[in-house]
Chains A and B, each alone.
Chain A
Amino acid sequence: MSAAVVVVVAFLVLLPIVFLVEESLNVGDPMAFPPREYGFANFVAMFDEDINVLLNTVEIAVMATIMAIAIGFTLAWILTRTNVKGRELLERLMELPYYMTPLVGALAWSVIAGPKSGFVNQLWHAWGGKGDIVNVYGHFGIAWIMALFEGTVAFVMISASMKSMDPALEESARVMGASKLRTMLTVTLPLVMPGVLGATLFVFAEMLGSFAAALVIGIPARIYVITTAIWDSTLSYPPDYGRASAMGLSLFVVMFGMLTFYRWRINKGSYATITGKAFRPRPMDMGRVTWLLLGFCLLYVALAVVLPLAALIMTSLQRFATVILSQAEWTIANYQTALALGPIRVAIGNSLMLGFGVASIGVILMALLVWIIYRSRIRGSGAIEYLVMFPQAVPRLVFGLALLWAWLNIPIPIYGTLWLLALAYLTVMLPLGVRTLAGVVLQIDKSLEECARVCGAGWAYQMRTVTLPLLRPGILAAWLLIFMACVRELGVSVFLMGPDARVIAPSIVSAFASSGTELTAAMALIQTATVVLALVILFRLTRGVTKEMT
């Protein structure tokens, strides 16, 4: 039983990587399978012809990481250690940029801060200014969007490490006679530092593999990073899968190494500040400075949520996007087009269908996996856990490339169909779904199940009457998270989408490249609205759950 599960999961998770490795060593005809000549030429070429791409990648990732950590640290400190007003609501708002997705964020910022017709520049010209005052189409612009929309994880990680710190550690320093500043420097900072460094490493790895902003902003600006270079080499004729695989594999190895190092440091647990104890927060009274801090939080929400959404909504409701209201021609034609135009309508329908299907089948399979990994005492459950979590360590885009190459060559004809997309989604959603469900399963005391058995219930009866009802909130949450992730999926979809199997995110990208901004904005908003709807239900649900538990 256990062996069968391992084989199936390994087939889904590891096989594409094997194909990727093989192809990266292919130095003959890139389309030949199996390769006729092996060599390292593809890797050498990367440092030779594509050295600029590597430099760009590192430069943008470094800038984005610095910004994300600076923003995340400040927000985390404000929201966990100070008495700023409305902390709970603000904390919830901080999650929103992540759900907006970097793709939508990048579109919005190209509308806000694009050259010439960008809203900020339009206002500048209307005010009599010459030239452009902002231009997001540059290294900094790409990094800025990455930091805003993919940097949320820095906030989450740093605030978790701040929350887990016993306030008595600071208080004892104060009682010993240390000033606020001295306490900050000798106690707070050294204790928070490992958490911040961990977050930095993690965010940097994510930024190296980031795709959406580089795709939307970078390609028109002719700034290539490794992810867009991978994408680009598959578009050439003939597609250079060998080159793409070599870059993808290198990116994977670097990210995997960084994440492994990160895990190792966390597990080593140099400082056991995390005692598993919930600490009563004792926020510092910041006096009048609180208003400044509140302002910082609101500015972030404005830049990452309000402005982008407002810009997209304005754009989507006009014939020609302008921020000068007297010149605006309002229309809902863009939405009509988006919903009427064959390919777009099909893409929206497909995405929803995939979301429903993958989420529904996924939670059942993942619940089974979770039960096998954490509850059954099957041998090899550790191996299954490792395999299931593996896709997390692979940049999404690289996984897409690997799947593409694998399924082009596996003699099962599902390439270019929704079936392959469904299979791919299921595979890449494994870590998300299993982690969410495991969180709930581990909270359920084993004795609750054991008690049912002792009372005379069989396995099926116990599952039906005890385990599944207890799991229900977790299953619903996992379903919604997977649904959202499917609807917004980009990295895998761009490679696996065929003419007969379109989905929404890549369609938005191609609409942005080929048709007007206004139509693209309407499509992006339709996608966002779907995600937000699911998110609202999720928040309702989790609030209900936490209420029940307290």
Chain B
Amino acid sequence: MSSTRIEVADLVVRYGEQVAVNGVSFTVGRGEHLTLLGPSGCGKTTTLRAVAGLEQPSAGAIRIDGQAMYEAGRRNVPAEQRGVSMVFQSYAVWPHMTVSDNVAYGLRVRKKGAADIRTAVERALDLVQMRHLADRAASRLSGGQQQRVALARAIAFSPTVVLFDEPLSNLDAKLRAEMRVELRELQRRLDITSVYVTHDQEEALAISDRVIVMNVGVIEQIGTPEEIYNRPKSRFVADFVGSANLIKGKVAGPGRFEAEGGAILNTVGASSGSEVAVRTAYIDVVARPGDNQLPGHVRQRMFHGDFVQYIVECTCGRLIVRRPPVNLLEEGAPVTLSFSPEHTVLLQG
């Protein structure tokens, strides 16, 4: 058995003149949790909907378990025959049914026996801790409850692939953090493959095995959350995921970069380019041997609680530094910034 569950090859989706997805290719392995991350309008939702069969692509191919679901000009399997499941941004919980009717829908469509349906529905509701509300009308649920019902409905018929379209974006911050933990837990317990769409970079890093960063219809970078964070390939990724300082300059030899103002930095990453990215969290204010070092002075200090943010004036411009809120530096104090070459990433330019 192949280890690839979903394969998307050179996918193009057009709306009239507008190209929403412009040649996207990736694979999702069995049991893998992949996230499509990007700003609104980057084509992530369109890609997901094309996999679900809700959007008509213009070119490319989509295969699930080796079966062609879409092949340009030849084949487009309707959504209901693809066997995938989906959680919608608006939850799309049917207000005219009870909670358990909602959850049972996929099973009834598949003509399962009444006893099987009952056990499957109970199991799914147990997983999302909603069993006590099984007989409640779906129109009388709170946002968080609807979200759980949508989740239970999506997993109740034991699909192998579940697609998530920004499922947490309508929840408030606290609930969102809780659901994130539960979702990760659920993914581990059920043997499902998932593709998840979000514009929230924190969420993407937290719940995925691999992340695809998209921008204006194309893929910017594919990698594990650590790779995306530690080794951004492009300015877009460095900027969109996490917070990074971008230092302009030019390459001064292999692994060496001359920043504006003359400082020489040891770098990793691309072989040519005109910008390096340094994560704000990776900069120390105490000189460490072997690190890149930049002298400067503190221009502004902002206390955020969980961390303290300094704006430091250096020869290469202003850098943002985030440190734990201990041993605070005063505004105006001289400081030597120190960061490892490992975290000084030359971006493709």
Interface residues on B, range: 20 to 34
- Assess whether A175 is in contact with B95, with CB atoms less than 8 Å apart: no
A182-B109, A187-B94, A191-B96 known; A176 vs B85 contact (CB < 8 Å) = yes
Q: Is the CB of A171 within 8 A of B95?
A: no
Given A172-B88, A271-B96, the answer on whether A177 and B54 have CB atoms closer than 8 Å is no
Tell me, rounded to whole Å, the shortest Cβ–Cβ distance linking A169 to chain B: 5
CB contact under 8 A between A169 and B110, given known A179-B80, A272-B139: no
Q: Are B106 and A168 in contact (CB under 8 A)?
A: no
Taking a contact as CB atoms closer than 8 A, the residue among A169, A177, A270 that contacts B92 in the complex is A169
Q: Which residues of B contact A172 (CB under 8 A)?
A: 86, 88, 92, 150, 153
B139 and A270 within 8 A (CB): yes
Interface string of B155-172 (1 = CB under 8 A from A): 001000001000000000
> Are the CB atoms of B109 and A178 closer together than 8 Å?
yes
The interface residues of chain A lying within 8 Å CB-to-CB of B94 are 169, 173, 187, 191
- Would B92 and A176 count as touching, CB distance under 8 A? no
- Contact between chains at A191 and B153 (CB < 8 Å): no
Per-residue CB proximity of B222-263 to A under 8 Å, as 1/0?
Answer: 000000000000000000000000000000000000000000
Residues of B within 8 A of A186 (CB): 105
Bound-complex Cα distance A37 to B273 (A) = 102
Contacting pair B89 A168 (CB below 8 A) = yes
Q: Which of A404-447 contact B (CB under 8 A)?
A: none
Taking CB atoms, residues of chain A closer than 8 Å to B90 are: 166, 168, 275, 277
Across the interface, do A177 and B106 meet the contact criterion of CB distance under 8 Å?
yes
Give every chain A residue within 8 A of B54 (Cβ-Cβ).
171, 174-175, 282
Closest to B52 in A: A175
Cβ contact within 8 Å between A176 and B95:
no
Contact A271 B80 (CB under 8 A): no
Q: Is the CB of A273 within 8 A of B95?
A: yes
One of B56, B83, B96 near A177 (C-beta < 8 A): B83
Q: How far is the CB of B275 from chain A (nearest CB, A)?
A: 37
Contacts of A168 in B (CB 8 A): 88-92
* A272→B95 contact, CB < 8 A: yes
Contacts of B109 in A (CB 8 A): 176-178, 182
The CA of A361 and the CA of B170, in the complex, are separated in Å by 47
Q: Tell me the complex Cα distance, A187–B153, Å.
A: 15
Contacts of B79 in A (CB 8 A): 171, 174-175
- Distance in Å: Cβ of B290 to nearest Cβ of chain A: 53
Distance A178 CA – B105 CA, assembled complex (angstroms)? 9
CA distance A178 to B82 in the complex (A): 11
Determine the distance from Cα of A417 to Cα of B338 in the docked complex, in whole angstroms. Answer: 93
Contacts of A275 in B (CB 8 A): 90
Q: Give B178-213 as 1s and 0s: 1 = Cβ < 8 Å from A's Cβ atoms.
A: 000000000000000000000000000000000000
Considering only CB atoms, which chain A residue lies closest to B82 in the complex? Answer: A175
Closest to B54 in A: A171
Do A175 and B96 have beta carbons less than 8 Å apart?
A: no
Which residues on B sit within 8 Å (CB–CB) of A272? 95, 139
Taken residue by residue from 145 to 167, chain A's Cβ proximity to chain B (1 for < 8 Å, 0 otherwise) reads as 00000000000000000000010
Taking CB atoms and an 8 Å cut-off, the chain A residues in 305-360 that contact chain B are none
The residue in chain B whose Cβ has the minimal distance to the Cβ of A172 is B92
**Assembled-state Cα–Cα distance A273/B138 (Å):** 11
* Bound CA–CA A17/B133 (angstroms): 50
* Chain A, residue nearest B79 (CB): A174
Contacts of A282 in B (CB 8 A): 54
Residues of A within 8 A of B80 (CB): 174-179
**Contact flag A177-B88 (CB < 8 Å), given A190-B96, A272-B139, A273-B95:** no
- For window 75-119 of B, CB contacts with A under 8 Å fall at 78-86, 88-92, 94-96, 105-106, 109-110
- Residues of A near B105 (CB, < 8 A) are 173, 176, 178, 186
Known contacts A168-B92, A273-B95: does B139 contact A175 (CB below 8 Å)?
no
Expressed in whole angstroms, the Cα–Cα distance for A408 and B96 within the complex equals: 54
User: Cα distance A272–B52 when bound, in Å?
Assistant: 26
Main secondary structure of the interface of B (DSSP, over half): loop
Nearest CB in chain A: distance from B243 CB, A:
32
Taking A187-B94, A191-B96 as contacts, is the C-beta distance between A171 and B88 under 8 angstroms?
yes
Taken together as a complex, chains A and B put the C-alpha atoms of A460 and B90 apart, in Å, by: 45
- Chain A residues in 8 Å Cβ range of B157: 176-177
Q: Return chain B residues, CB-CB under 8 Å to A285.
A: 56
Within residues 468 to 503 of chain A, which ones have a CB less than 8 A from any CB in chain B?
none
Contact with A along B65-78 (1 / 0, CB 8 A): 00000000000001
Q: Smallest distance from the beta carbon of A31 to chain B beta carbons, Å?
A: 56
Q: What is the CB-to-nearest-CB distance from A347 to chain B, in angstroms, rounded to a whole number?
A: 52
Q: In the bound complex, do residue B92 and residue A271 qualify as a contact, i.e. CB atoms below 8 Å apart?
A: no
Cα(A172)–Cα(B106), bound, Å: 10
Q: Which of B262-298 contact A (CB under 8 A)?
A: none
With both beta carbons as reference points, the residue of chain B lying nearest to A191 in the complex is identified as: B96
- In angstroms, Cα B140 to Cα A272, docked, is 9
Nearest chain-B residue to A178 (Cβ)?
Answer: B109
Q: Which of A105-138 contact B (CB under 8 A)?
A: none
- Chain A residues near B95: list those with CB within 8 A: 191, 271-273
Most central of B53, B96, B106 by chain A CB within 10 Å:
B96
Chain A neighbourhood of B83, CB < 8 A: 177
CB distance from B199 to the nearest CB of A (A): 17
Decide yes or no: A166 and B85 within 8 Å by CB, A175-B54, A176-B157, A272-B139 being known contacts. Answer: no
Cα distance, A177 to B110, chains bound together (Å): 8
Closest to A272 in B: B139
Q: Shortest Cβ distance from B193 into chain A, in angstroms?
A: 15
Q: How far is the CB of B124 from chain A (nearest CB, A)?
A: 13
B139 surroundings in chain A (CB, below 8 A)? 270-272
Residue with the greatest number of chain B CB neighbours at <10 A, chosen from A172, A273, A275, A277:
A172
A169-B94, A187-B94, A271-B139 are known contacts. Are A175 and B89 too (CB-CB below 8 A)? no
- Given contact pairs A168-B89, A171-B79, A176 touches B106 in the complex (Cβ within 8 A): yes
Question: Inside 8 A of B86's CB, which chain A residues have their CB?
Answer: 171-172, 175
Rounded to whole Å, the gap between the CB of A194 and the closest CB of chain B is: 9
Per the bound structure, the CA–CA distance linking A273 and B96 in Å amounts to: 9
- The CA-CA distance from A282 to B54 in the complex, in Å, is 10
Query: In the complex, which residues 20-59 of chain B have their Cβ closer than 8 Å to any Cβ of chain A?
Result: 52-54, 56
CA of A277 to CA of B88, assembled, Å: 15
The CB with the most chain B CB atoms within 10 A, among A174, A270, A277, is that of A174
Chain A residue, CB-CB nearest to B96: A190
For B56, what are the chain A residues with a Cβ–Cβ distance below 8 Å?
285
Q: Which residues of A contact B96 (CB under 8 A)?
A: 190-191, 271
Chain A's nearest CB lies how many Å from the CB of B147?
A: 13
Which chain A positions have C-beta within 8 A of B84?
175
Q: Let me know if B92 and A171 touch, CB within 8 A.
A: yes
* CB of A67, distance to nearest CB on chain B (Å): 27
Residue in A closest to B89 when the chains form the complex, CB atoms: A168
Do A176 and B153 touch (CB < 8 A)? yes
Query: A187 contacts which chain B residues (CB < 8 A)?
Result: 94
Find chain B residues with CB under 8 A from A171 CB. Answer: 52, 54, 79, 86, 88, 92
Q: How far is the CB of B51 from chain A (nearest CB, A)?
A: 10
- For A277, the chain B residues whose CB sits under 8 A away are 90
Per-residue interface assignment for chain A, residues 175 to 203, with 1 indicating a CB less than 8 Å from any chain B CB and 0 otherwise: 11111101000110011000000000000
Residues in A with CB closer than 8 Å to B85 are 175-176
**A interface residues, Cβ below 8 angstroms from B:** 166, 168-169, 171-180, 182, 186-187, 190-191, 270-273, 275, 277, 282, 285
Known: A180-B78, A182-B109. 19 other contacts (CB 8 A): A168-B92, A169-B94, A171-B54, A172-B86, A172-B92, A173-B105, A174-B79, A175-B53, A175-B79, A175-B80, A175-B82, A175-B85, A175-B163, A176-B80, A176-B106, A177-B81, A178-B109, A190-B96, A277-B90
Interface residues of B (CB under 8 A from A): 52-54, 56, 78-86, 88-92, 94-96, 105-106, 109-110, 139, 150, 153, 157, 163
A-B CB contact pairs (8 Å), 13 listed: A168-B88, A171-B88, A172-B88, A175-B82, A175-B85, A175-B163, A176-B106, A177-B109, A178-B80, A191-B94, A191-B96, A271-B95, A273-B95
